[in-house]
Structure 1
Amino acid sequence: MKGVLAVMAALAVLLGFPLATAVLVASVATPAAAQVHRTLLCEGTLPVTGDWRPPYESAYALTPGSGFGQRFHPIHLEWRLHAGVDMTSQPAGAPVVAAAAGTVTGSGWTSGGGNTVTIDHGGGISTRYLHLAAPSPLRLGQAVPLGGRVGVEGSTGDSTGSHLHFEIRQDGQPIDPVPFMLERGAPLSGVAVAPSAAPGEEALPPWVPELPEDGEGGIGFELPAPGQPRQDSLHNPSLPIPSGIQELYEQAGSEYGIPWALLAGIGMAETAHGANTGTSSAGARGLMQFMPATFAAYGVDGDGDGLAQIDNDADSVHSAAKYLTASGVHRGEEGVRDALFAYNHADWYVNDVLYYAQQYGGGLVLGDPLHCDGQGGNPDLPPVSSERVAQMLAFAAGQEGDSYILGAGGPNAWDCSSLTQTAMAQIGITAPRTAQAQRDWLAMGNGFRVPLDQAQPGDLFFFDSYLGPHTIGHVGFVWDPATSTSIEAANPAKGVGFFSYSRALDNNIFEIWRLGNIDDNPKAPS
């Protein structure tokens, strides 16, 4: 790994401040709160991607002024060590779950903490959950899985309102839970986190697309369930799929990172998989019923014969996958619904397709389960300060030589978006997991786009890759714009290191975005 002083010296030159200042940045706090704006978080629920998780499934908020460290006790009216962090579920009174698998070593009433549970996780690490609403059903010696029910948030003991006091202890001594959880891929950011899989259950659906070696991140989300209203699917049951047509669905689904069942749902809703391919009254044609003008923009040569033809089944199916991708199908459950609505502007149609897709087995969409409603960014937002840029880039550069493994989130292996996500987390910023979602998160108001010739160190660059020309598949940091040098997790062959982002300037998508001076401080001005 690159030495810290060498990294900071290089950053000092790039960012234009003395080395002494750069070295200091690695250990000092972020700028004054008045200069920092609050992060805008996306909608949705994060998946569980490791051995640790926040102690809620619901959204929650950290209580201002009740972090780890010395504080003035609100009841005893004296300065004391606050040995954990206080948090409140949104809405209050939600279930509390185990932050990691372990064994119960304490369950009962404690002085000040009220109903309390302690779980030992091995290696000298334990967690404590205080102020639970009622005595926990857990008993001493009981094994608790990751995400197992611990109790319900309450206000027992010395408490001024419903909340959870959450502690981490190392060899019996309390340590700050915030950096501890961040290092384990479970930042206490307030975002809802999905229930953990029960022991022995598959963490992913049985159908998982083959992940490419240059992918953006090994996470995904299941297709949303059909809702109401439905129309045609109420009286037209799903039909068997001809083997040749199903093969086309599977090929296109694999290429674009979407379940073939979703394409089958469209094929069933449009033409019953080719049984009714006549031109519609509106002029739509082919297996997947494209309007000629839409096909002219999104038509794909699906069978490799050198032509993109509206009435060719392979071309039609691959073009449908491309159109869904361009319409945001990889951007959470809401993105799937938006993409289907773009295909046919009717709510009943969206639910019909999802119903048919469910009948054909559903599946996993490669993408971020969070839905970031990206617009044009916020050009009035002050850019992240030079000191914070230095801290963020120093972390990224410190991983030089680490491996690239699709879906990895550190500490010794990364993919492109986990590296940028974790580097931003070093300065208190919670970003989504995948490249496309990070770009959309910036565009929703957490940053702003800049021209190529105005790039600066710490800017993020994005370009399209394996999900087709209309979806971003890669992200990295600008290191030195004078030489187009990047710091990034490039691919499995190259790993993490310094490369050149000029290799992607001719891609269909190439964008540079500047991070705003934001963090997750609940006291920061909005």
Structure 2
Amino acid sequence: MGSSSSSSSSSRVGWVIAALAAALLAGPLGAAVVLTAVITPAVAEQQRLDCATTVAASGPWRPPFQQAYVRTSVFGMRFHPIHHEWRLHAGVDLVALPGPGPVVAAASGTVTAAGDRGGYGNAVDIDHGAGIVSRYAHLARLNTTITVGTAVTAGQVLGVEGSTGTSTGNHLHFEILINGAPVDPVAFMAERGAPLDGRAVTPTPTAPVPAGVEGGIGFDLPPAGTPRLNSLHTPPAPIPATVKALYVAAGSRYQLPWTLLAGIGMEETAHGRTTATSSAGARGLMQFMPATFAAYGVDGDGDGRAVITSDADSVFSAANYLTRSGVTRGQAGVRRALFAYNHATWYVNDVLYYAHAYGGGLVLGDPTSCAGGQGDPSATPLPADRVAAVLAWAGQQAGEPYVYGANGPNAWDCSSFTQAAYRQAGVSMPRTAGAQRDWLAAGAGTRIAPGQERPGDLIFWDSYLGPNAIGHVVIVKDPTTRTTVEAKRTRAGVGTFTYRYTGHSIFEIWRPATPTGSTR
């Protein structure tokens, strides 16, 4: 058994190439609203989250693509390249990378228009209530299930990006209308925690996310792939009640599907039926090497000792090892953690096969690909006026309720509150506390030693996700009094509180950097 980690980054070069290559035009729908598209760089303060090639959809709104994309126009009056006159561009144009790609509903609602709309080409309108309508134009084709009156959910595929209507290249024209009047989709989506920042967004989960999960984010265990080995000829064995109780208890402690632990237990010893030491020297129900157990072994039965041959200690130690190996970092993270447990692809697939046979389950994590790092010590901190804007906005929310999974504007959890506060300074960060920390560690911030924090710095520690996962984030208000401004918990709500350096399994302080290319 060993350990593994990886990080990934996306290049801005692709953005530039795609933008220059996309000569997109959009045309009129009647005489009232005319769409034009010009190649325009994204707003400088709309910071791209380079380390996160995919993010999770959270809250009721999400971008209208699943894959990565670029924004090639802005909202407002523009000179129409065909009609050679100034006309209103009532939305923004988005180009999928690679394209053409599927277009999805940005939020749940009811389809009020679907079909050929003249200059819009094939287009869909969705009524979201409260006078809000989203519009998707120039689609190559619509899904046959999308008709007037259809109820759709956020993330449901509406059709495929195209170039129908008045257009000279594949793209999606995306509009937001409030009481019939178009508004800037960039500002509208950013206010709802779904910035149009070009990142790929994972499909909206179909499995229910348990109540009380930050950001409403979770993801299914990945399917078993190929090759497989033992699972091809050895069916999943019944789990003894005492062993299943250990799987369930350890899964609860470390916030893992118990079935994943059962998959390992089945693959290693058929849930304890095999008791011999392996030829490599591995021992116990979950087959730890003594050196690995010395590093990751925990006391699972509460007797004050971690014993390699104790079933309880073995199962809890496996959960500890998986979470410390990044199992909550998306489906790829699950596979990496299992590979760290035993360096064989067939082993990973066997365990997942057995885990699904026992019922599968949801991992309470954020499926971003940021794998952390040490940050960028040379990064330029946010200027004082931007930090002041963060703290001023945060202070104005005092007294608002704390609700798990809330995304504003009148209720928050810890990370949505932090995300919204930093949006006031032109910083766009991921949705959950763990993903925010990983994003900063991947280069968007600087690690700060305890005692050196400043106002506006972010402090992360473990909480409801178990001892090996960050579950809470706070904004430092005054380091001299060790006070924060944060969305704390259900009973406390949003306000000013205190922090301490001790008593946490994880305690890290990070200083967000000024976004690259920012002009503010």
TM tier relative to shorter chain: 0.7 to 0.9
| Residues 423, 282 of structure 1: alpha-carbon distance in 2 compared, 3 angstrom cutoff | same
Number of residues of Structure 1 aligned to a counterpart in Structure 2: 477
Match of 2:104 among 97, 107, 112: 97
Q: State the partner residue of 2:90.
A: 83
Task: State how 1:276-315 maps to structure 2 within 5 Å.
Answer: 276-315=274-313
How far apart, in 1, do the equivalents of 2:509 and 2:318 lie? 29
Q: State the partner residue of 2:314.
A: 316
How far apart, in 2, do the equivalents of 1:468 and 1:413 lie? 24
Q: State the partner residue of 2:184.
A: 176
Q: Does the residue aligned with 2:421 lie in a helix, a strand or coil?
A: helix
Q: Does the 8 Å CA contact 1:368/1:432 hold for their aligned counterparts?
A: no
Q: Does 1:513 find its partner at 2:510?
A: yes
Give the letter for the 1:372 counterpart: C
Match of 1:61 among 70, 78, 82: 70
Q: State the partner residue of 2:362.
A: 364
How far apart, in 2, do the equivalents of 1:84 and 1:224 lie? 37
Q: Does 1:46 find its partner at 2:44?
A: no
| Residues 492, 323 of structure 1: alpha-carbon distance in 2 compared, 3 angstrom cutoff | same
| Residues 346, 476 of structure 1: alpha-carbon distance in 2 compared, 3 angstrom cutoff | same
| Residues 322, 237 of structure 1: alpha-carbon distance in 2 compared, 3 angstrom cutoff | same
Q: State the partner residue of 2:208.
A: 204
The offset of 1:133, in angstroms, is 2.1
The offset of 1:438, in angstroms, is 1.3
| Residues 350, 107 of structure 1: alpha-carbon distance in 2 compared, 3 angstrom cutoff | closer
Q: State the partner residue of 1:125.
A: 132
| Residues 101, 293 of structure 1: alpha-carbon distance in 2 compared, 3 angstrom cutoff | closer
The offset of 1:518, in angstroms, is 1.4
The offset of 1:90, in angstroms, is 1.6
How far apart, in 1, do the equivalents of 2:431 and 2:252 lie? 21
The offset of 1:362, in angstroms, is 0.8
| Residues 34, 190 of structure 1: alpha-carbon distance in 2 compared, 3 angstrom cutoff | closer
Larger deviation: 95-104 or 379-388?
Answer: 95-104
How far apart, in 2, do the equivalents of 1:43 and 1:442 lie? 15
How far apart, in 2, do the equivalents of 1:464 and 1:104 lie? 42
How far apart, in 2, do the equivalents of 1:86 and 1:473 lie? 36
How far apart, in 1, do the equivalents of 2:174 and 2:309 lie? 60
The offset of 1:292, in angstroms, is 1.8
Match of 2:120 among 110, 113, 120: 113
How far apart, in 2, do the equivalents of 1:60 and 1:303 lie? 50
Instruction: Encode CA deviations 1:150-206: one digit per residue, 9 max, x unaligned.
Output: 332112233232111111111211111122223333322323334457xxxx6427x
Match of 2:223 among 225, 232, 240: 225
Q: State the partner residue of 1:10.
A: none
Q: Does the residue aligned with 2:473 lie in a helix, a strand or coil?
A: strand
Instruction: Encode CA deviations 1:442-476: one digit per residue, 9 max, x unaligned.
Output: 11111121222321111111112344433222111
How far apart, in 1, do the equivalents of 2:102 and 2:309 lie? 54
The offset of 1:68, in angstroms, is 1.1
Task: State how 1:320-359 maps to structure 2 within 5 Å.
Answer: 320-359=318-357
How far apart, in 1, do the equivalents of 2:179 and 2:44 lie? 38
How far apart, in 1, do the equivalents of 2:442 and 2:469 lie? 17
Q: State the partner residue of 2:409.
A: 411
Q: Does 1:187 find its partner at 2:199?
A: no
Instruction: Encode CA deviations 1:346-386: one digit per residue, 9 max, x unaligned.
Output: 22211111111111111111111112121111222222232
Q: Does the 8 Å CA contact 2:142/2:160 hold for their aligned counterparts?
A: no
Give the letter for the 2:345 counterpart: D
The offset of 1:281, in angstroms, is 2.0
Larger deviation: 252-261 or 406-415?
Answer: 406-415
**Root-mean-square deviation (CA), in Å?**
2.6
How far apart, in 2, do the equivalents of 1:36 and 1:167 lie? 18
Q: Does the residue aligned with 1:373 lie in a helix, a strand or coil?
A: coil
How far apart, in 1, do the equivalents of 2:313 and 2:464 lie? 18
The offset of 1:509, in angstroms, is 2.0
How far apart, in 2, do the equivalents of 1:467 and 1:122 lie? 34
Q: Does the 8 Å CA contact 2:46/2:428 hold for their aligned counterparts?
A: no
Q: Which runs of 5+ in 1 are unaligned?
A: 1-31
| Residues 360, 137 of structure 1: alpha-carbon distance in 2 compared, 3 angstrom cutoff | closer
Q: Does the 8 Å CA contact 1:38/1:524 hold for their aligned counterparts?
A: no
The offset of 1:118, in angstroms, is 2.7
Q: Does the 8 Å CA contact 1:36/1:517 hold for their aligned counterparts?
A: no
Q: Does the residue aligned with 1:353 lie in a helix, a strand or coil?
A: helix
Q: Does the 8 Å CA contact 2:372/2:438 hold for their aligned counterparts?
A: yes
Q: Does the residue aligned with 2:201 lie in a helix, a strand or coil?
A: coil
How far apart, in 2, do the equivalents of 1:72 and 1:133 lie? 25
Q: Does the 8 Å CA contact 1:277/1:289 hold for their aligned counterparts?
A: no
Sequence identity (%)? 60
The offset of 1:311, in angstroms, is 0.9
Q: Under a length normalisation based on structure 1, what TM-score does the superposition of the two structures give?
A: 0.84
